[in-house]
């Protein structure tokens, strides 16, 4: 079975500070992992994905994530937060059949000016 756990349903950072959103996964097969962002009243947008190539994955808007098998983690980071980063962030793992995502419960990021 596959699942992801996002630690911290709400995270607040100051503008310009490091953003760290945590995601731990559980998977019975080598996982493919994704981070999506959801802005208010908009659809989910892919930030980045890990598909067993490089363990450090760079995405859009300056975000990156590192796959750490020993820690079963795929944390999302950004060196310097912008006001426009305020949104809901979802980590997801692809299911064994490859047909469906298993999403975490999401982390709401607030950026304080």
Partner 1 sequence: GAGVSQTPSNKVTEKGKYVELRCDPISGHTALYWYRQSLGQGPEFLIYFQGTGAADDSGLPNDRFFAVRPEGSVSTLKIQRTERGDSAVYLCASSVHRGNTDTQYFGPGTRLTVL
CB closer to partner 1 out of 74 and 90? 90
Region from 12-20, 54-62, 66-74, 87-95 binding partner 1, contact rule CB under 8 A: 87-95
Nearest to 87 by CA among 41, 49, 50: 41
Backbone φ and ψ for 60, nearest 5 degrees, come out as: -80, 165
Considering the rule CB under 8 A, would residue 46 count as an interface residue with partner 1? yes
- Which of 17, 62, 66, 106 touches partner 1 (CB under 8 A)? 106
Sign of CA dihedral 71, 76, 7, 104: negative
- Which of 12, 51, 55, 80 touches partner 1 (CB under 8 A)? 51
Nearest to 50 by CA among 20, 28, 30, 70: 30
Which residues would be at the binding site for partner 1 (CB under 8 A)? 9, 32, 36, 41-46, 49, 51, 90, 92, 94-95, 97-106
């Amino acid at each position: 079975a596959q699942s992801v756990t996002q630690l911290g349903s709400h995270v607040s950072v100051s503008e310009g500070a490091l953003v760290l959103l945590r995601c731990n996964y559980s998977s019975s097969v080598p996982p493919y992992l994704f981070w999506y962002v959801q802005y208010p009243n908009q659809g989910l947008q892919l930030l980045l994905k890990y598909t067993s190539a490089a363990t450090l994955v760079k995405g859009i808007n300056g975000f990156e994530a590192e796959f750490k098998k020993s820690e079963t983690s795929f944390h999302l980071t950004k060196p310097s937060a912008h006001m426009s980063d305020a949104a809901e962030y979802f980590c997801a793992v692809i299911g064994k059949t490859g047909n469906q995502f298993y999403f975490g419960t999401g982390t709401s990021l607030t950026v304080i000016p």
